[in-house]
Chain A
Amino acid sequence: MQIEFTLNDQPTVWDVSPDEFLADTLRKHGFLSIRKGCNTSCCGLCTVWIDGKPTLSCTALSFRMQGKSVTTIEGVAEEAAEFARILVAEGAEQCGFCSPGFIMTVLALKHELAAPTEEEIVHYLTGNLCRCTGYMGQMRAVKTYLGVTQR
């Protein structure tokens, strides 16, 4: 079936099957920033924005994107690069496999919450797993990026 939607601000028309998930559709079309870490809707690596809301693309059916706006990290390259520089400076980047999904969630957090507390940051990012860093470096980077106080 054919869907018409907006992908990274570009009008897009794709053919999808009714049991196809967005993560697979995006990867099929070359968006290899979409990672599937768990395939059980738990790890957050496949996070994209659907109508601006961070959502698991492994769990969103592709046909439901009809009329919606989908944003991947390729669509917010400048903003993502700014945060990525801070991540690297804090030594919070190791294998990098989880980074695209993590960064999409951090950027969504910035858009949604003004001056969040550490508790609010942890709550927002709980759905993004990282097996390398232990999260402390990530937390420093997020706080620096959001301009909230380090403790």
Chain B
Amino acid sequence: MFTVGQLVQPDTVEEAYRILTEKKDAAVLGGCAFLRMGSRAIGTAIDLSHLNLEGITEHADSFEIGAMTTFRMLETDSVLNTFFDGLLAEAVKPIIGVQFRHAVTVGATVFSKYGFSDLITALQALDTEVELAHGGRMALEAFLNRPYEKDVLTRLWIRKDGRRAAYQSFRNSASDFPILTTAVSLLAGQGRIVVGARPLKAAIAVQASQELGRMDLNSQRMDEIAALAAGEMTFGANMRGSAEYRRELCKVLVKRAVTEVAACK
């Protein structure tokens, strides 16, 4: 279990960032489900509860999702889930249980860049932007690919661009960590195929995504796109599955997700 020396609850994002960067042993507290599994000695714990970062706000052209929004809020938000074919709800539903999803937060998951994350896989398919106190707004892919730097993730932004989307994951048993995750989206000839839990963090299958946007989709084309995705992604092994097994799973899950998206027209 982690320990905390001093707790601070800043009233502004700027103050939170200042404390985080000034104190070497400071850390931001999210939902704490992962943090509590370790034994980190946190000198100054920064709690974001006073920053009004909990909840989902609909704007004319986008959704704003605060960093302290829980997975259960994503799952049950009646407005958000009328968009993107309910992709975000589908992505978080298989994660542990309702009580867990009431605890864990969007910001902590995205900032931690967890390889096993169902949510990051789905968010990438929606062309999500990340907002950081210091780093500003950037594409989620750009954030995932840059080296670790102390910062406070404040919000996610998702454009209401009308893209259709589908999610698929595979687990050894219900509520376990996924062996592989996939999310696929399609918007006006622009396809996006994301594969996560490889067990490396989620990434876009670039070539397969280009083909998805280009082609009239029939069953044979879907097989080819799925094989292309499986061929271009890097897979690794862990206790849940080998790289070879994940590559085979990738073909199946991508085809299922592409089939769903094609049917959503």
Contact = CB atoms under 8 A, between A and B. Distances in A.
Interface of A: 1, 17-19, 21, 40-42, 44, 47, 50, 53-56, 58-61, 63-64, 105, 108, 123-128
6 contacts: A1-B7, A54-B99, A61-B47, A105-B98, A126-B96, A127-B96
Given A19-B4, A126-B97, A61 B32 contact: yes
Contacts of B104: 59
B7 A127 contact: no
B93 A123 contact: yes
A126 B103 CA distance: 15
B103 A127 contact: no
Interface of B: 1-4, 6-7, 29, 31-33, 36-37, 42, 45, 47, 49, 72, 93, 96-100, 102-104, 174-175
A27 B7 CA distance: 23
B100 to A, nearest CB: 6
A56 B36 CA distance: 13
Centre residue among A21, A44, A50, A59 by max chain B CB count within 10 A: A59
B37 A59 contact: no
Contacts of A50: 102
Nearest to A40: B37
B31 to A, nearest CB: 7
A54 B100 CA distance: 9
A59 B32 CA distance: 6
A44 B32 contact: no
A128 B72 CA distance: 16
A126 B7 contact: no
Given A126-B175, A127-B99, 20 more contacts: A1-B7, A18-B4, A19-B3, A40-B37, A41-B103, A42-B96, A44-B99, A50-B102, A56-B33, A58-B36, A59-B31, A59-B103, A59-B104, A60-B32, A61-B32, A105-B97, A105-B99, A126-B98, A127-B96, A127-B97
B181 to A, nearest CB: 18
Nearest to A123: B93
Nearest to B8: A18
Given A42-B96, A124-B98, A19 B45 contact: yes
B102 A44 contact: no
Contacts of A40: 37
Contacts of A55: 99, 102-103
B72 A53 contact: yes
A125 B93 CA distance: 12
